[in-house]
Amino acid sequence: MKKIIGLLVFFASNCFCATMINVKVKVLSSPCIINNNQPIIVEFGDVITGGVNGERYRKKMNYTIVCPGNEQQKMTMRVTGETASFDSEVFLSSVQDLGLRIERDGLKVLPDIDFPFIYQALPEIMITPVKREGSRLPGGDFFASYTLTVGYE
């Protein structure tokens, strides 16, 4: 997603001067619709706290991306969210010492970093609970919320 923002201000002694700037933009692509504008929900079901080891309980994230008229485009994806205090490559959850690792096609998704993909081959995204090494997780529900952004290259 490429944006151009400009601001020019000219000051002269005792005089405020301004000039009009004409900007011409050609929109080449229409916006994409992620998951039919609905939240993407990943349910983990029952998780035994002692079984959280960074491998067990891995779940596939089911989602859709529709970009009308842009079927051949190279694109980028980014997941934005807070990171766990115990690992900057793991996303924060509502439970201290528990985070979520996100992978795309077997590679780590790093917070706030774009990664490329092809529109016709959406990456397989997997989410895995990860706990701080040596910690004991409490029982109860947990949740996490992140932002998924898609852009054109």
The residue extents of the domains of the chain are 29-152
CA distances from 5 to 21, 61, 136 (A): 12, 35, 49
Q: Is 2 left (phi over 0), alpha (psi -120 to 50) or beta?
A: beta
8-state DSSP, 121: B
pTM over 0.85: no
The CA distance from 144 to 88, in Å, is 16
The pLDDT mean for the chain works out to: 84
The pLDDT-based confidence of 7 (bands split at 50, 70, 90) is very low
Give CA–CA dist 140/43, Å, rounded. Answer: 14
CATH of 29-152, one of 3.40.50.11890, 2.60.40.1090, 3.20.20.100, 2.40.40.20: 2.60.40.1090
Q: Which two tokens stand for residue 12?
A: 């002269």
The answer to whether residue 3 scores a pLDDT higher than 50 is no
Q: Which of 90, 96, 88 is nearest to 135 (CA)?
A: 96
pLDDT band at 20 (very low <50, low <70, confident <90, very high): low
